[in-house]
Structure 1
Amino acid sequence: SVVDGLMFQGTITARVHAECSRCLMPLHRDWSVDVCAFFAQVESKGGARSNNSKFNRSNGDNDDLEDADIWDEGDDSGNVYPLVGGGDFADIEALIRDTMVSELPLKPLCEPDCKGLCSQCGENLNEHPDHHHDITDIRFAALEGLKQKLENSQNRG
């Protein structure tokens, strides 16, 4: 606790359900993120410290929003949040959401060396590592046929 608010430091752990971006297998992992945030007292126009009712989800009325100043302390780090309930409570929902969303990978992987899916047939290459296709370039198909004829004639002779 500090004079103008509350300092929060901890670790957030959440169960994440996603899909591997390479092989499309479901992922179910616990994801942990260290956080440090400051919950500040918000001052109203009269200079008295109060809560900003738009962050207080315990009551449904938003009448005080017209009287509330825009709360911006010039902190670009994004880790300052208002105290709610007259400064008695720290609503950590926004902190959890902001932290978890920014720390999750954009392309989650089941394993760091995931091989993904075969681009020809969609076979999972992690389950079938020897899977491959003999791809013949149609531009060289006639030459491939000529090669086969030459090899066959050499084998006979």
Structure 2
Amino acid sequence: MSQKHDAARAAPAGPWVLDTRDFGRRAGASRTYTRRPPAPAGFGLDMIRVPEGDPVELDLLLEAVVEGVLVSGTAKASVTGECARCLDPISDEVEVEFRELFAYPDSATDASTDEEEVSRVVDDLIDLEPLVRDTMLPTLPIAPACSPDCQGLCSGCGAKWAELDPEHHHETIDPRWAALRERFGGTEEEK
């Protein structure tokens, strides 16, 4: 093996990747890890996300099993976004638990599962980013709210209902009558 190839295998490819070579393939072996990889771009939904570069706290237990490496643990991160009702900034924290088998190449899982059904150990490396993303994103609210009783924005003027007078309203005219109003210049009360 060339020295360049050895250097490439010496370090995992990124902060989300764990090298299992020192862990070995002895069933029953286990090891704990604590990591804080930075969140990649787009780690979230339209209205709420983990800010790019913010740490995602990972507490992991890796266990060697006959078919591969079983990864269990938690991921915790701060999320920021906008209230879907009033567009005020919001922040929260999300924590999820996960458990996933990363199968060894040429294990029995090759014959018993489709390639996309199980995660794989590739060159003795485990990439945790897809696992954490697929576990964390479904727990985020699609329409986050700054509070459960947020009233949102007035559809007439766009002001926040919480800051408006209780008597605030806009006159609405049935669109079927709007053409008549326009032609005859309003109603008797308006003249």
Runs of 4+ in 1 over 4 A off after TM superposition: 138-141
Give the SS at the match of 1:13. strand
Q: Does 1:112 align with 2:186?
A: no
Q: Does 1:95 align with 2:131?
A: yes
Unaligned residue ranges in structure 2 (runs of 5+): 1-62
Give the SS at the match of 1:132. coil
**Aligned ranges 1:63-142 → 2 under 5 Å:** 73-74=113-114, 80-86=118-124, 89-128=125-164, 130=166, 132-135=168-171, 137=173, 139=177, 142=187
Q: Which has the larger radius of gyration?
A: 1
Counterparts of 2:111 and 2:90, CA distance in 1: 39
- Normalising by structure 2, we get a TM-score of 0.50
- Normalising by structure 1, we get a TM-score of 0.59
Distance 1:71 1:82, change over 3 A: farther
1:41-90 CA distance string (max 9 Å, x none): 122xxxxx6xxxxxxxxxxxxxxxxxxxx9982388x5x3112332xx42
Counterparts of 1:102 and 1:83, CA distance in 2: 24
Superposition deviation, residue 134 in structure 1: 4.5
Give the SS at the match of 2:78. strand
2:105 alignment partner AA: V
**In terms of mean alpha carbon deviation, does 102-111 or 127-136 score higher?**
127-136
Distance 1:134 1:142, change over 3 A: same
Taking only the aligned residue pairs, the percentage that are identical comes to 36
Equivalent position to 2:86, from 23, 48, 61: 23
Distance 1:136 1:95, change over 3 A: closer
2:187 alignment partner AA: A
Partner of 1:32: 95
Unaligned residue ranges in structure 1 (runs of 5+): 44-48, 50-69, 147-157
1:99 alignment partner AA: T
Contact 1:125–1:131 (CA<8 Å) still a contact in 2?
no
Counterparts of 1:90 and 1:131, CA distance in 2: 60
| Root-mean-square deviation over aligned CA pairs | 3.2
Counterparts of 2:120 and 2:165, CA distance in 1: 53
1:99-139 CA distance string (max 9 Å, x none): 22232222122122221101111111234472621525375
